[in-house]
Amino acid sequence: MDTSKPTLTLESGEVVHADLVIGADGIRSTLRRYVVGSKDRPRPTGDAAYRAIIPTERLLQDPNLRPLVEKPEMVGWIGPRCHIMTYNIRAKKEFNLVLVHPDNDGDESWTTEGSVDKMRAEFAGWEPRVQKLLEMISTTLNWKLMDCDPLETWVHKDGNLVLLGDSCHPMLPYCAQGSAMAVEDAAVLGNLFSHLSLHSQIIPLLHAYQCIRYDRATATQASSRLNQHIFHLLDGPQQEERDRQMRAAIEDAHRVARGEESTLAFAGNANQWADKEKTRIQFGYHADEEAEKWWRVHGHTLADSSRI
């Protein structure tokens, strides 16, 4: 057996050999410890998230809830130490709810059933539409939200194992960017490896992948953590200033929708998506272009005489 190549033992007992293993196995990654050891274990954030789904046909029967289905937008509520984000899924057949709250007895499992009664109690007193939605929920999952500091590296020292997505940069849900970051990782890695012609290019291409992706993923993690703080402010002067900024951003968006000029400078707005420069950076990213840019500059340096 060639011990220089990584091997994976599957649940079935089958042993698989490869030149490279990609660890895309999430925040509870089995493979992360082989890259960075056990020192970078995820830690609790103090929050957990109830998740629930309601058939939209039920919302459509209520004139106050009907707009939540008919208008193509995400609707959220924020309050002390809690927030709710809602949106349609499955071609408007179902209405998805994520209710973030202080973690009292959450489980790291993604399939742990939560208490509907506790969920309703934690959001008692929130506005009438929220109460109606809560009454429509019959079952819920409760996820403990975990976080992890930026890793020192995503690439194993031997160059035969690399991490991708939440295994190396887990994203808290406060910016809804977790899936996007993983897809971007995969696009960059796939693009770089489309140029692969020599076995000796694997390691430098892995480090190129990390170089291209590391700062962007780390900045997105930071933005998500910032939203946790912004959304959950206790009542008081900071909360009032947050609300003022968010209200101004909404009013300005309505002016623009009417064809009028924007009158606000949004840099640093409490609504991060109202910050036009942040939005340009987050949503104007092109993973393939970033990979191709790297290859045009550095690709010629990867020539080697030993073929795969």
Spatial separation of the C-alpha atoms in residues 301 and 303, rounded to whole Å? 6
Residue 88 tokens read as 């349609």
Average pLDDT over residues 152-178: 95
Q: What is the CATH number of the domain that holds 48?
A: 3.30.9.30
Average pLDDT over residues 195-206: 94
- Among residues 69, 49, 50, the alpha carbon closest in space to that of 59 is found at 69
161-163 and 21-23 as β-strands: parallel, antiparallel, unpaired?
Answer: parallel
Q: How high is the pLDDT of residue 168?
A: 95
Q: Tell me the residue type at 74.
A: M
Q: How high is the pLDDT of residue 132?
A: 98
Residue 190 placed within a domain: no
Instruction: Grade residue 1 by pLDDT with cuts at 50, 70 and 90.
Output: very low
Greater model confidence, 51 or 268: 51
Cα dihedral across residues 50, 55, 57, 61: positive or negative: negative
Residue 212 placed within a domain: no
Active site residues: 51
- Give the position of tokens 């709250």: 101
Structural element, H or E, at residue 185: helix 178-193
Residue 106 placed within a domain: yes
Q: How high is the pLDDT of residue 106?
A: 61
Residue 107 placed within a domain: yes
Q: How high is the pLDDT of residue 111?
A: 72
Tell me the pLDDT tens digit for each residue of 6-31: 899 999 999 999 999 999 999 989 99
Q: How many domains does the chain have?
A: 1
Tell me the pLDDT tens digit for each residue of 266-307: 778 899 988 888 889 999 999 999 999 999 999 988 865 344
Residue 230 placed within a domain: no
Q: How high is the pLDDT of residue 300?
A: 87
The parent domain of residue 116 ranges over 43-147
Residue 121 placed within a domain: yes
Instruction: List beta partners, residue 55.
Output: 94
Spatial separation of the C-alpha atoms in residues 262 and 252, rounded to whole Å? 6
- Among residues 52, 17, 46, 1, the alpha carbon closest in space to that of 229 is found at 46
255 to 41, 231, 262: CA distances (angstroms): 46, 25, 7
**pLDDT for residue 248 is more than 80:** yes
Ramachandran class of 222: left when φ > 0, alpha when ψ lies in -120 to 50, beta otherwise: alpha
Spatial separation of the C-alpha atoms in residues 215 and 74, rounded to whole Å? 28
Residue 284 placed within a domain: no
**pLDDT for residue 47 is more than 70:** yes
Phi, psi of 70 (to 5 degrees): -75, -30
Tell me the pLDDT tens digit for each residue of 88-147: 999 999 999 999 999 987 666 667 799 999 999 999 999 999 999 999 999 999 999 999
Q: Please answer whether residues 71 and 30 qualify as being in contact, where contact means their C-beta atoms are separated by less than 8 angstroms.
A: no
Residue 184 placed within a domain: no
Query: Of how many residues is the chain composed?
Result: 308
Tell me the pLDDT tens digit for each residue of 233-244: 999 999 999 999
- Among residues 196, 195, 170, the alpha carbon closest in space to that of 182 is found at 170
Reduced to 3 states, what is the DSSP secondary structure of residue 165?
helix
